[in-house]
Amino acid sequence: MNRTTTPLACLFLGMMLTSHSVFGAPAGTDAPVLPTSSTADSGPTPTTTPGSSASPIGTPTMPEGLTGAGEANFWKQDTLTGDWDGFRKNLENDGLKITPTWIGEVMGNPRGGAAQGVTEDGVFNVALDFGLERMSGGAVNDLTIHANALYLYGPGVSPKYVGDFSNTSNIQGYNTIRLQELWLQKWFWEKRLSVKVGNIAVDTEFFQSSSSSLFINSTFGTPDLIANNIDNAPVYPVASPGVRIQFLPTSQYYVMAGVYGMDLNSTPATDNHNGTHFAMNGSSGMLVMSEAGYLLNQSPNDRGLQGTYRLGSFVETANWNNWGSQAAFANGTGSLQSAGTNFGIYGVMDQQIYAKDDSAISLFVCGGGAPSNVNFVNAYIDGGFNFTGFIPGRANDIAGLALAHAHVSGNFSDSQVLQGSAPFTEESVLEATYKVQVTPWWTIQPDFQYVMNPSGVVGSPNAVVLGVRTSVAF
Protein backbone atom coordinates (compact mmCIF):
# COMPACT_ATOMS: atom_id res chain seq x y z
CA MET A 1 0.00 0.00 0.00
CA ASN A 2 1.57 3.29 -1.07
CA ARG A 3 1.85 6.41 1.04
CA THR A 4 0.57 9.72 -0.22
CA THR A 5 0.70 13.28 1.07
CA THR A 6 -2.15 15.74 1.13
CA PRO A 7 -1.60 18.89 0.21
CA LEU A 8 -7.92 37.05 0.68
CA ALA A 9 -10.43 38.42 -1.23
CA CYS A 10 -8.35 41.46 -0.33
CA LEU A 11 -6.18 41.01 2.76
CA PHE A 12 -6.46 44.67 3.68
CA LEU A 13 -10.25 44.55 3.53
CA GLY A 14 -10.22 41.39 5.62
CA MET A 15 -8.09 43.07 8.25
CA MET A 16 -10.35 46.08 8.45
CA LEU A 17 -13.42 43.90 8.74
CA THR A 18 -12.10 41.63 11.24
CA SER A 19 -7.83 36.29 17.73
CA HIS A 20 -7.11 33.09 16.93
CA SER A 21 -9.24 29.98 17.39
CA VAL A 22 -8.93 26.30 18.11
CA PHE A 23 -10.60 24.15 15.47
CA GLY A 24 -12.51 21.42 17.09
CA ALA A 25 -11.78 22.67 20.60
CA PRO A 26 -13.94 21.03 23.24
CA ALA A 27 -16.79 22.86 24.84
CA GLY A 28 -16.03 24.85 27.95
CA THR A 29 -16.43 22.77 31.08
CA ASP A 30 -15.29 22.72 34.66
CA ALA A 31 -13.43 19.48 34.02
CA PRO A 32 -9.77 19.09 34.94
CA VAL A 33 -7.82 20.90 32.24
CA LEU A 34 -5.76 18.74 29.93
CA PRO A 35 -3.19 20.11 27.55
CA THR A 36 -4.79 20.08 24.13
CA SER A 37 -3.98 21.58 20.81
CA SER A 38 -5.38 21.85 17.35
CA THR A 39 -4.27 22.02 13.70
CA ALA A 40 -6.41 24.74 12.77
CA ASP A 41 -4.06 27.59 13.37
CA SER A 42 -1.25 25.57 14.51
CA GLY A 43 -3.36 22.97 13.25
CA PRO A 44 -5.30 23.41 10.61
CA THR A 45 -5.79 24.21 13.28
CA PRO A 46 -6.05 24.81 12.16
CA THR A 47 -4.28 24.20 14.10
CA THR A 48 -4.58 25.69 19.90
CA THR A 49 -3.02 29.02 20.09
CA PRO A 50 -0.55 30.01 22.76
CA GLY A 51 -1.80 32.77 24.96
CA SER A 52 -0.24 35.17 27.38
CA SER A 53 2.49 34.15 29.79
CA ALA A 54 -0.04 33.95 32.58
CA SER A 55 -1.72 30.97 30.96
CA PRO A 56 -0.62 27.41 31.85
CA ILE A 57 1.74 26.14 29.20
CA GLY A 58 -0.30 23.03 28.63
CA THR A 59 -3.77 24.52 28.45
CA PRO A 60 -5.69 25.72 25.40
CA THR A 61 -5.88 29.51 25.44
CA MET A 62 -8.30 30.42 22.69
CA PRO A 63 -10.38 33.56 23.30
CA GLU A 64 -13.19 32.71 25.68
CA GLY A 65 -15.26 34.87 23.40
CA LEU A 66 -18.10 36.01 25.65
CA THR A 67 -18.36 39.21 27.67
CA GLY A 68 -20.95 41.05 29.68
CA ALA A 69 -23.81 42.73 27.88
CA GLY A 70 -22.66 46.07 29.22
CA GLU A 71 -19.36 46.00 27.32
CA ALA A 72 -19.30 48.90 24.88
CA ASN A 73 -15.70 49.42 23.72
CA PHE A 74 -15.44 47.97 20.22
CA TRP A 75 -11.66 47.66 20.37
CA LYS A 76 -11.61 45.94 23.76
CA GLN A 77 -14.43 43.44 23.38
CA ASP A 78 -13.49 39.80 22.95
CA THR A 79 -15.22 39.29 19.59
CA LEU A 80 -15.73 41.49 16.56
CA THR A 81 -19.52 41.30 16.77
CA GLY A 82 -19.65 41.69 20.55
CA ASP A 83 -22.38 40.26 22.76
CA TRP A 84 -25.25 40.80 20.32
CA ASP A 85 -27.01 43.07 22.82
CA GLY A 86 -26.93 40.35 25.46
CA PHE A 87 -28.32 37.61 23.21
CA ARG A 88 -24.99 35.82 22.93
CA LYS A 89 -24.55 35.71 26.70
CA ASN A 90 -28.10 34.46 27.13
CA LEU A 91 -27.41 31.65 24.66
CA GLU A 92 -24.32 30.65 26.61
CA ASN A 93 -26.26 30.69 29.87
CA ASP A 94 -28.76 28.37 28.21
CA GLY A 95 -25.97 26.01 27.14
CA LEU A 96 -25.19 27.04 23.53
CA LYS A 97 -21.87 28.57 22.58
CA ILE A 98 -21.29 29.79 19.02
CA THR A 99 -17.70 30.46 17.92
CA PRO A 100 -17.30 31.79 14.37
CA THR A 101 -13.68 32.50 13.37
CA TRP A 102 -11.85 33.39 10.19
CA ILE A 103 -8.18 33.02 9.28
CA GLY A 104 -6.82 34.37 6.03
CA GLU A 105 -3.33 34.70 4.64
CA VAL A 106 -1.24 35.79 1.69
CA MET A 107 1.94 33.79 1.12
CA GLY A 108 4.55 33.79 -1.61
CA ASN A 109 7.72 32.07 -2.70
CA PRO A 110 10.15 34.63 -4.15
CA ARG A 111 13.07 32.21 -4.51
CA GLY A 112 13.73 28.49 -4.86
CA GLY A 113 11.27 25.66 -4.61
CA ALA A 114 9.29 24.46 -7.60
CA ALA A 115 8.36 27.91 -8.97
CA GLN A 116 7.84 31.50 -7.92
CA GLY A 117 4.41 32.88 -7.11
CA VAL A 118 1.95 34.26 -4.58
CA THR A 119 -1.30 32.74 -3.29
CA GLU A 120 -4.04 33.64 -0.87
CA ASP A 121 -6.10 31.15 1.10
CA GLY A 122 -8.19 30.98 4.23
CA VAL A 123 -10.70 29.16 6.35
CA PHE A 124 -13.94 30.21 8.01
CA ASN A 125 -14.83 27.98 10.92
CA VAL A 126 -18.14 27.87 12.79
CA ALA A 127 -18.12 25.84 15.99
CA LEU A 128 -21.20 24.98 18.05
CA ASP A 129 -20.96 23.63 21.59
CA PHE A 130 -24.06 22.40 23.37
CA GLY A 131 -23.91 22.09 27.16
CA LEU A 132 -26.72 19.60 27.72
CA GLU A 133 -26.63 20.04 31.50
CA ARG A 134 -27.74 23.65 31.18
CA MET A 135 -30.03 22.96 28.26
CA SER A 136 -31.83 20.24 30.22
CA GLY A 137 -32.05 22.25 33.42
CA GLY A 138 -29.73 19.83 35.22
CA ALA A 139 -31.49 16.64 34.10
CA VAL A 140 -28.38 15.53 32.18
CA ASN A 141 -25.03 15.97 33.90
CA ASP A 142 -21.61 16.61 32.37
CA LEU A 143 -22.62 15.96 28.78
CA THR A 144 -21.61 18.12 25.81
CA ILE A 145 -22.02 17.97 22.04
CA HIS A 146 -19.58 19.66 19.68
CA ALA A 147 -19.84 20.32 15.96
CA ASN A 148 -17.87 22.49 13.59
CA ALA A 149 -18.00 23.21 9.89
CA LEU A 150 -15.29 24.69 7.68
CA TYR A 151 -15.35 26.80 4.55
CA LEU A 152 -11.91 26.46 2.97
CA TYR A 153 -10.73 28.42 -0.03
CA GLY A 154 -7.53 29.12 -1.92
CA PRO A 155 -4.82 26.84 -3.27
CA GLY A 156 -2.06 27.48 -0.71
CA VAL A 157 1.52 28.17 -1.72
CA SER A 158 2.99 24.69 -1.09
CA PRO A 159 1.47 22.47 -3.82
CA LYS A 160 2.21 24.73 -6.78
CA TYR A 161 5.19 26.88 -5.79
CA VAL A 162 7.18 25.26 -2.98
CA GLY A 163 6.65 21.54 -3.50
CA ASP A 164 7.34 20.62 0.11
CA PHE A 165 5.59 17.83 2.01
CA SER A 166 5.62 19.60 5.39
CA ASN A 167 3.11 22.17 4.05
CA THR A 168 3.90 25.83 4.66
CA SER A 169 0.34 26.58 5.83
CA ASN A 170 -1.64 24.74 8.48
CA ILE A 171 -4.97 26.08 7.21
CA GLN A 172 -4.59 24.80 3.66
CA GLY A 173 -7.17 22.18 2.80
CA TYR A 174 -9.72 21.08 0.22
CA ASN A 175 -11.67 23.94 -1.38
CA THR A 176 -15.11 23.19 -0.04
CA ILE A 177 -17.64 23.59 2.70
CA ARG A 178 -17.22 20.56 4.92
CA LEU A 179 -18.26 19.17 8.27
CA GLN A 180 -15.21 18.37 10.35
CA GLU A 181 -15.96 17.25 13.90
CA LEU A 182 -19.25 16.03 15.35
CA TRP A 183 -18.97 14.35 18.73
CA LEU A 184 -20.53 13.82 22.13
CA GLN A 185 -18.48 13.86 25.34
CA LYS A 186 -19.52 12.60 28.77
CA TRP A 187 -17.61 13.16 32.01
CA PHE A 188 -17.63 10.73 34.95
CA TRP A 189 -16.19 10.47 38.48
CA GLU A 190 -16.04 14.17 39.30
CA LYS A 191 -14.82 14.86 35.78
CA ARG A 192 -11.73 12.69 36.07
CA LEU A 193 -12.83 10.35 33.29
CA SER A 194 -14.26 11.41 29.94
CA VAL A 195 -15.52 9.44 26.96
CA LYS A 196 -15.83 11.09 23.56
CA VAL A 197 -17.75 9.41 20.73
CA GLY A 198 -18.34 10.64 17.19
CA ASN A 199 -16.46 12.11 14.26
CA ILE A 200 -13.18 13.15 15.88
CA ALA A 201 -9.98 14.81 14.66
CA VAL A 202 -6.91 13.17 16.20
CA ASP A 203 -4.78 16.31 16.08
CA THR A 204 -6.99 18.22 18.50
CA GLU A 205 -5.58 16.11 21.34
CA PHE A 206 -2.72 13.74 20.43
CA PHE A 207 0.92 14.61 19.60
CA GLN A 208 0.40 18.29 20.30
CA SER A 209 2.50 21.13 21.71
CA SER A 210 0.77 24.24 22.98
CA SER A 211 3.87 26.35 22.25
CA SER A 212 4.42 25.10 18.69
CA SER A 213 0.84 26.01 17.78
CA LEU A 214 2.04 29.59 17.28
CA PHE A 215 3.72 28.61 14.02
CA ILE A 216 2.12 28.60 10.58
CA ASN A 217 3.92 25.67 8.95
CA SER A 218 1.68 22.62 9.25
CA THR A 219 4.37 20.31 10.63
CA PHE A 220 4.41 22.28 13.90
CA GLY A 221 0.72 21.48 14.36
CA THR A 222 0.43 17.98 12.90
CA PRO A 223 3.99 16.63 12.69
CA ASP A 224 5.12 14.93 9.50
CA LEU A 225 5.44 11.66 11.42
CA ILE A 226 1.62 11.57 11.49
CA ALA A 227 0.58 13.70 8.53
CA ASN A 228 2.83 12.00 5.97
CA ASN A 229 2.72 8.42 7.24
CA ILE A 230 -0.98 7.78 7.84
CA ASP A 231 -3.08 7.73 4.67
CA ASN A 232 -6.32 9.70 5.05
CA ALA A 233 -5.32 10.52 8.63
CA PRO A 234 -8.12 12.04 10.73
CA VAL A 235 -6.34 15.38 11.06
CA TYR A 236 -7.39 18.85 9.91
CA PRO A 237 -9.48 19.31 7.85
CA VAL A 238 -10.60 15.67 8.17
CA ALA A 239 -12.02 13.66 11.07
CA SER A 240 -13.01 9.99 11.48
CA PRO A 241 -15.60 8.05 13.50
CA GLY A 242 -14.03 6.97 16.75
CA VAL A 243 -14.01 6.68 20.52
CA ARG A 244 -11.56 8.47 22.82
CA ILE A 245 -11.16 7.79 26.56
CA GLN A 246 -9.28 10.18 28.81
CA PHE A 247 -8.42 9.63 32.49
CA LEU A 248 -6.88 12.04 34.99
CA PRO A 249 -6.09 10.13 38.20
CA THR A 250 -4.53 13.29 39.68
CA SER A 251 -4.07 16.88 38.58
CA GLN A 252 -0.52 16.04 37.49
CA TYR A 253 -1.00 12.97 35.31
CA TYR A 254 -3.27 11.87 32.50
CA VAL A 255 -3.63 8.97 30.11
CA MET A 256 -5.79 8.80 27.01
CA ALA A 257 -6.40 6.47 24.11
CA GLY A 258 -8.54 6.53 21.00
CA VAL A 259 -9.67 4.10 18.31
CA TYR A 260 -10.65 5.56 14.94
CA GLY A 261 -12.15 3.97 11.85
CA MET A 262 -10.27 4.30 8.56
CA ASP A 263 -11.20 4.26 4.90
CA LEU A 264 -8.06 4.01 2.79
CA ASN A 265 -10.02 3.45 -0.41
CA SER A 266 -11.51 6.95 -0.57
CA THR A 267 -10.04 10.40 -1.07
CA PRO A 268 -11.33 13.14 1.28
CA ALA A 269 -10.94 15.80 -1.41
CA THR A 270 -13.26 13.97 -3.84
CA ASP A 271 -15.13 10.98 -2.38
CA ASN A 272 -15.83 12.76 0.91
CA HIS A 273 -15.85 16.32 -0.32
CA ASN A 274 -18.22 17.66 2.35
CA GLY A 275 -17.13 15.47 5.25
CA THR A 276 -20.51 13.78 5.62
CA HIS A 277 -19.43 10.30 4.54
CA PHE A 278 -18.78 8.40 7.76
CA ALA A 279 -18.34 4.93 6.30
CA MET A 280 -15.41 2.80 7.48
CA ASN A 281 -13.70 0.17 5.36
CA GLY A 282 -12.99 -3.16 7.06
CA SER A 283 -9.84 -3.83 5.04
CA SER A 284 -8.47 -0.45 6.08
CA GLY A 285 -8.21 -1.46 9.69
CA MET A 286 -8.23 1.04 12.54
CA LEU A 287 -6.00 3.78 13.86
CA VAL A 288 -5.18 3.42 17.56
CA MET A 289 -3.71 6.42 19.37
CA SER A 290 -2.42 6.42 22.95
CA GLU A 291 -0.72 9.01 25.11
CA ALA A 292 0.35 9.62 28.71
CA GLY A 293 1.39 12.95 30.13
CA TYR A 294 2.81 14.76 33.13
CA LEU A 295 1.66 18.30 33.97
CA LEU A 296 4.29 20.25 35.89
CA ASN A 297 3.21 23.12 38.16
CA GLN A 298 -0.29 23.34 36.68
CA SER A 299 -2.42 22.56 39.75
CA PRO A 300 -4.28 25.53 41.30
CA ASN A 301 -1.80 26.06 44.15
CA ASP A 302 1.39 25.25 42.27
CA ARG A 303 4.18 27.76 41.87
CA GLY A 304 7.10 27.72 39.50
CA LEU A 305 7.67 27.36 35.80
CA GLN A 306 5.04 25.27 34.05
CA GLY A 307 5.63 22.33 31.76
CA THR A 308 3.90 19.49 29.95
CA TYR A 309 5.58 16.20 29.02
CA ARG A 310 3.95 13.59 26.77
CA LEU A 311 4.75 10.12 25.45
CA GLY A 312 2.54 8.49 22.88
CA SER A 313 2.16 6.10 19.98
CA PHE A 314 0.07 5.31 16.93
CA VAL A 315 -0.80 1.89 15.51
CA GLU A 316 -2.43 1.21 12.12
CA THR A 317 -3.97 -2.24 12.14
CA ALA A 318 -4.23 -2.57 8.35
CA ASN A 319 -1.84 -4.84 6.50
CA TRP A 320 1.06 -2.92 4.91
CA ASN A 321 3.38 -4.06 2.16
CA ASN A 322 7.02 -3.05 2.51
CA TRP A 323 8.58 -0.52 0.13
CA GLY A 324 10.99 -2.96 -1.50
CA SER A 325 8.27 -5.39 -2.51
CA GLN A 326 6.13 -2.54 -3.83
CA ALA A 327 8.98 -1.52 -6.13
CA ALA A 328 9.52 -5.11 -7.28
CA PHE A 329 5.80 -5.57 -7.90
CA ALA A 330 5.65 -2.31 -9.90
CA ASN A 331 8.60 -3.45 -12.00
CA GLY A 332 7.16 -6.91 -12.50
CA THR A 333 10.12 -8.59 -10.80
CA GLY A 334 8.50 -9.76 -7.58
CA SER A 335 5.40 -10.01 -5.45
CA LEU A 336 4.09 -7.87 -2.62
CA GLN A 337 5.38 -8.82 0.83
CA SER A 338 3.45 -7.99 3.98
CA ALA A 339 5.10 -6.04 6.78
CA GLY A 340 2.09 -6.43 9.06
CA THR A 341 0.68 -3.53 11.04
CA ASN A 342 2.31 -0.12 11.17
CA PHE A 343 3.21 1.89 14.25
CA GLY A 344 5.15 4.88 15.54
CA ILE A 345 6.19 6.42 18.84
CA TYR A 346 6.57 10.07 19.83
CA GLY A 347 7.38 12.45 22.66
CA VAL A 348 6.56 16.10 23.32
CA MET A 349 8.02 18.59 25.79
CA ASP A 350 6.60 22.05 26.55
CA GLN A 351 8.50 23.93 29.24
CA GLN A 352 8.56 27.52 30.43
CA ILE A 353 12.17 28.54 31.00
CA TYR A 354 11.46 32.12 32.09
CA ALA A 355 8.42 33.94 33.45
CA LYS A 356 8.27 37.36 35.07
CA ASP A 357 5.33 39.75 35.10
CA ASP A 358 3.94 39.76 31.54
CA SER A 359 7.07 38.29 29.94
CA ALA A 360 7.79 34.61 29.36
CA ILE A 361 9.98 32.30 27.31
CA SER A 362 8.79 28.80 26.47
CA LEU A 363 10.72 25.93 24.91
CA PHE A 364 9.19 23.04 23.01
CA VAL A 365 10.62 19.85 21.51
CA CYS A 366 8.66 17.19 19.60
CA GLY A 367 10.01 14.05 18.01
CA GLY A 368 9.42 10.44 17.13
CA GLY A 369 10.12 7.52 14.85
CA ALA A 370 8.43 4.82 12.78
CA PRO A 371 9.63 1.73 10.87
CA SER A 372 11.35 2.66 7.62
CA ASN A 373 10.05 -0.33 5.67
CA VAL A 374 6.50 1.05 5.37
CA ASN A 375 6.67 4.73 6.38
CA PHE A 376 7.63 7.72 4.25
CA VAL A 377 9.08 9.67 7.23
CA ASN A 378 10.90 7.32 9.58
CA ALA A 379 12.42 9.93 11.94
CA TYR A 380 11.18 13.37 12.91
CA ILE A 381 12.12 16.17 15.33
CA ASP A 382 11.18 19.80 15.78
CA GLY A 383 11.78 22.41 18.44
CA GLY A 384 11.71 26.11 19.12
CA PHE A 385 11.07 29.03 21.42
CA ASN A 386 8.19 31.41 22.13
CA PHE A 387 8.86 34.89 23.48
CA THR A 388 5.81 36.58 25.00
CA GLY A 389 5.46 40.20 26.16
CA PHE A 390 9.01 41.45 25.63
CA ILE A 391 8.03 44.64 23.79
CA PRO A 392 6.84 47.40 26.18
CA GLY A 393 3.10 47.87 25.94
CA ARG A 394 2.66 44.64 23.92
CA ALA A 395 2.06 42.09 26.69
CA ASN A 396 0.06 39.71 24.47
CA ASP A 397 2.30 39.70 21.41
CA ILE A 398 4.28 36.51 20.78
CA ALA A 399 7.45 36.02 18.75
CA GLY A 400 8.66 32.57 17.81
CA LEU A 401 11.58 30.76 16.21
CA ALA A 402 11.39 27.06 15.32
CA LEU A 403 13.14 24.36 13.29
CA ALA A 404 11.72 21.05 12.05
CA HIS A 405 13.53 18.14 10.41
CA ALA A 406 11.91 15.13 8.73
CA HIS A 407 14.08 12.24 7.52
CA VAL A 408 12.70 10.30 4.57
CA SER A 409 12.93 6.52 4.87
CA GLY A 410 15.94 5.03 3.13
CA ASN A 411 13.80 2.04 2.14
CA PHE A 412 11.33 4.36 0.45
CA SER A 413 14.15 6.18 -1.34
CA ASP A 414 15.63 2.89 -2.58
CA SER A 415 12.24 1.79 -3.87
CA GLN A 416 11.91 5.01 -5.86
CA VAL A 417 15.35 4.56 -7.38
CA LEU A 418 14.44 1.01 -8.41
CA GLN A 419 11.46 2.49 -10.27
CA GLY A 420 13.60 5.06 -12.06
CA SER A 421 12.92 8.08 -9.84
CA ALA A 422 15.35 10.35 -8.02
CA PRO A 423 16.50 9.40 -4.51
CA PHE A 424 15.02 11.02 -1.41
CA THR A 425 16.84 12.24 1.70
CA GLU A 426 15.17 14.74 4.08
CA GLU A 427 13.30 18.02 4.41
CA SER A 428 13.82 20.76 7.01
CA VAL A 429 11.92 23.95 7.83
CA LEU A 430 13.09 27.06 9.68
CA GLU A 431 10.31 29.47 10.69
CA ALA A 432 10.36 32.89 12.36
CA THR A 433 7.06 34.56 13.15
CA TYR A 434 5.53 37.36 15.20
CA LYS A 435 1.86 37.47 16.21
CA VAL A 436 0.50 40.92 16.97
CA GLN A 437 -2.59 41.00 19.18
CA VAL A 438 -4.19 44.10 17.68
CA THR A 439 -7.38 43.70 19.69
CA PRO A 440 -8.73 40.76 21.73
CA TRP A 441 -10.54 39.62 18.57
CA TRP A 442 -7.96 40.40 15.87
CA THR A 443 -4.38 39.27 15.26
CA ILE A 444 -1.91 39.94 12.46
CA GLN A 445 1.04 37.60 12.00
CA PRO A 446 3.96 38.24 9.60
CA ASP A 447 5.86 35.05 8.85
CA PHE A 448 9.15 33.90 7.33
CA GLN A 449 9.97 30.31 6.38
CA TYR A 450 13.06 28.78 4.85
CA VAL A 451 12.33 25.31 3.46
CA MET A 452 15.44 23.22 2.93
CA ASN A 453 15.31 20.51 0.28
CA PRO A 454 11.54 20.81 -0.28
CA SER A 455 9.88 17.50 -1.27
CA GLY A 456 12.80 15.54 0.18
CA VAL A 457 14.14 14.76 -3.30
CA VAL A 458 17.92 15.04 -3.40
CA GLY A 459 18.97 18.36 -4.89
CA SER A 460 15.65 20.23 -4.59
CA PRO A 461 16.32 24.00 -4.44
CA ASN A 462 15.75 25.56 -1.03
CA ALA A 463 12.73 27.88 -0.87
CA VAL A 464 12.08 31.20 0.84
CA VAL A 465 8.45 31.71 1.88
CA LEU A 466 7.13 35.08 3.05
CA GLY A 467 3.61 35.70 4.25
CA VAL A 468 1.19 37.47 6.53
CA ARG A 469 -1.80 35.95 8.28
CA THR A 470 -4.72 37.64 9.96
CA SER A 471 -7.30 36.01 12.22
CA VAL A 472 -10.60 37.22 13.58
CA ALA A 473 -12.97 35.94 16.26
CA PHE A 474 -16.51 36.95 15.38
Condensed to tens digits (0 to 9), the pLDDT of residues 338-365 reads 998 999 999 999 999 999 999 999 999 9
DSSP character string of 59-77: S---------TT---TTTS
Strands 377-388 and 398-408, sheet pairing = antiparallel
The residue with greater pLDDT, 276 or 51, is: 276
Q: 351-382: b or e for each residue (b if 16 or more CB lie within 10 Å)?
A: bbeebeebebbbbbbbbbbbbbbbbbbbbbbb
pTM of the model as a whole: 0.84
pLDDT interval class at 5 (50, 70, 90): very low
In this prediction, residues 37-57 reach a mean pLDDT of 35
The residue with greater pLDDT, 5 or 189, is: 189
Answer yes or no: are the C-beta atoms of 232 and 263 closer than 8 Å. Answer: yes
In this prediction, residues 225-249 reach a mean pLDDT of 94
pLDDT interval class at 69 (50, 70, 90): very low
For residue 213, pLDDT over 80 is answered with yes
pLDDT at 273: 80
Answer yes or no: are the C-beta atoms of 452 and 427 closer than 8 Å. Answer: yes
Answer yes or no: are the C-beta atoms of 172 and 221 closer than 8 Å. Answer: no
Helix then strand then coil, in percent of the chain rounded to 5, is 15, 40, 45
Q: Give, to the nearest 10 degrees, the angle between helix 323-331 and helix 410-418.
A: 10
In this prediction, residues 277-298 reach a mean pLDDT of 89
pLDDT at 44: 36
What is the distance between the alpha carbons of residues 220 and 115, in angstroms, rounded to a whole number? 24
Structural domains in the chain, sorted by start: 11-473 (2.40.160.180)
What is the distance between the alpha carbons of residues 240 and 447, in angstroms, rounded to a whole number? 31
pLDDT at 72: 55
- Classified as helix, coil or strand, 145 is strand
In this prediction, residues 312-336 reach a mean pLDDT of 93
In this prediction, residues 180-206 reach a mean pLDDT of 96
